[in-house]
Chain A
Amino acid sequence: MIGRTSKRGLETVSRRLCRKGIGAWCVASLLLLVLSASAERGVVIGSKNFTESYLLGEIIAQLLEGEGIRVTRRFGLGGTLICHEALVSGEIDLYVEYTGTITEVILQAEVAPRRDALVAPLAERGLQPLPELGFDNTYALVLVADRAVELGVARISQLADLPSLRVAFSHEFLRRQDGWPGLRDRYDLRFQPVGIEHGLAYQALARGSVDVTDAYSTDGDIERYGLVTLKDDRAFFPRYAALPLAREDLPAAAGAVVGRLGGRIDEERMRRLNAEVVVGKRSFAAVAADFLAAEGFAASPVAASTWRDELLANTIRHLQLTIIALGLAVLLGLPLGVLVHRSQRASRMVLYGAGLLQTIPSIALLALMIPLFGIGVLPAIVALFLYSLLPILRATVTALVSVDPLLRRVAVGMGLSDMQQVRHLLLPLALPNVMAGIRTAAVISIGTATLAAFVGAGGLGQPIVTGLALNDPGLILQGAIPAALLAIATELCFEGLERCLIPAHLRRTSAP
């Protein structure tokens, strides 16, 4: 032992504990994740992040559970590409897709948007369309009924005469060939739409800050906000019949059970089911259970998970994501910083590299991870890890570079080896700044991890994503408030940690 005072002893012990603790925690958590991933997961059902997709996913899940088939839910995935990627890579076994989306986005081919026409091209990708559910959820342009009267519009073609209209479309609609670009050409539209999160568009519409937005014809919100749909008088929008899209290796028994839903839900029915969730504020599970009972399917008992259980599970997952990512970033960033800090060029290159990663918007970084790591916890951890790297690296390099050169000269002169210099001089002196860097990274991670739900990693982003889909501020706050509290708790934890690791006179006096 180097130190004799109890303070020093504590310092050394806690430092050792920290080092071993972080390593052990990372290994244990990764093992746990791998184990839980490889455990019997049954049929994995995905959904996109809007009400109808959640609801249909839940209906299918309960239907299978009612037949005694084990199910894992992976709901709220952020869009068609993420769902498709997840399906192809086997992360999920099925999700509900729309025929128009399959032809336009997935196949990008001239195929009729009907199930029978899709079988062959999908089979080439190892996928199979199960029977259509019975409704066509096409795109529609909607506006508030009063405003429609005021403007005197009832058909899309009439919009061409109104170039100053305020229009906001969902991001996916803005990009899709069967969305805005195609619509604009077909109808000769000249207004400039802005992009908006779909769940927020209705509020904007109701508040009158937007005139027109895109909607799905079965949206429960159409009734809720008293909207009217404009007639697609030049028949631009293709057919969007809903059907469960599954992998070819989906067990035949499960496929047969899901197939029983074929033709059971018409447009009117779907709109009512959606409205029960969106307007009636009922849970997906309850609405799905009622529907299945009304259709005479074996009712599976709805496990009524309380909001407390969910909060706990989400918080634990959130902590797992951030702590593993942060731990890995420390394990890589600290040694890397020590390694490169002597060379100005190497430091600059590494910092630029890490800085570049930081500039990629977090949701885009998550999306980029999907082709490499699939969906779920892994891509989220990798993305959070990459985000945490810069603050830690920068703090380490800056702190090391600013160690008094005279101290370094003496350390070399008195015969400390390179490792001993790092261990006994450089790291202890760099510690206050390094801790500040880790603290920053931790807080960033906790914030960014709320986006991990878009790639199916769960966490406190789960209620936020669902809340966005349902346009439910209460649900959004259920994720946002704990996340904010977690960030504050993290700050406090680090303050305590700094107090026990760093002698008072070397502690930074002010918070960042």
Chain B
Amino acid sequence: MNPAAVRLADVSKRYGTTTVLDGVSLEVESQRTVAIVGESGSGKSTLLQLLNGLVRADSGTVEVLGEDLAATDMLGLRRRIGYAVQGSALFPHLDLRTNVCLLAQLVGWSAERIEERLQRLMALMELDPELAQRYPHELSGGQQQRAGLCRAMMLEPPLLLLDEPFSAVDPITRVGIHEHFQRLAASEPVTVILVTHDLREAVALSSALVILRAGRIVQQGSCDEVVAAPADAWIERLLETQLA
């Protein structure tokens, strides 16, 4: 078994009087793709943001890539974690190339190394090289989404966090991007944690599922396990409605 890339122990988070996460414990093995599934308001996005320090846990411990988040240099750690979100959130004033390469330039990568990495990622994502000069608004939704993935993967991070990254594109484009994503995940030594409300997407892309409801993990295991033996009636209904 690989060492854990992410380890959460009894983590809770409240906003005012609302408990968003309630005693969550979770381990994600290195180089696996795990999907966190739940309805909106289940706390899945908060859980993801705990991992790159955008949200701080009220209690419990969060360990990412072997570092305790309560006592680490967040900036350095964040640069080892790729982050992509719904709608890609490319910077509108920068062209595709600069969007993808910005951080590599800021941390001082050589021009050759940047160029090489950019070419490789764009090829993996089947982005035409001439798109590099375009501004985000000149790209299609699918192209933007793929460019967002390139940006997240630029620094060769060992961990990639995806917050509903494919939900803003139409179903046909989405299937295409799923393929691109799988190619990427297969060719890079990266642990992926994917947050989605779409069980079908989760099953298609990941090897393990974590099902979250009202801030608690109600079931986790491999996709096959979960599908074969739902832990309760609610999960069963979820599987029925979404996978039918």
Tell me the A residues contacting B by CB distance below 8 Å. 2-5, 8, 404, 406-407, 409-417, 420, 424-425, 428-429, 503, 505-506
Contact = CB atoms under 8 A, between A and B. Distances in A.
Tell me what chain A mostly uses at the interface: helix, strand, loop, or mixed. Answer: helix
Contacts of B119: none
Contact of A414 (B49, B94, B101, B152): B152
A406 B79 contact: no
Contacts of A506: 92-93
B158 interface: no
5 contacts: A5-B95, A8-B98, A415-B79, A415-B81, A506-B92
Contacts of B103: 414-416
A429 B92 contact: yes
A414 B105 CA distance: 13
A411 B102 CA distance: 11
Nearest to B80: A415
Interface string B60-103: 00000000000000011011011101010101111101100111
A429 B135 CA distance: 14
Most buried by A among B76, B93, B97: B93
Given A406-B85, A420-B106, A413 B54 contact: yes
Contact of A429 (B52, B78, B93, B161): B93
A414 B135 contact: no
Contact of A2 (B78, B92, B102, B135): B102
A2 B98 contact: yes
A413 B91 contact: no
Nearest to B83: A413
A428 B106 CA distance: 16
B137 interface: yes
Nearest to A423: B106
Contacts of B151: 414
A429 B151 CA distance: 19
B54 A412 contact: yes
A423 to B, nearest CB: 9
B133 interface: yes
A3 B93 CA distance: 12
B89 A416 contact: no
A410 B83 contact: yes
Contacts of A412: 54, 78
Contact of B133 (A2, A5, A411): A5
A503 B135 contact: yes
A415 B161 CA distance: 13
B135 A424 contact: no
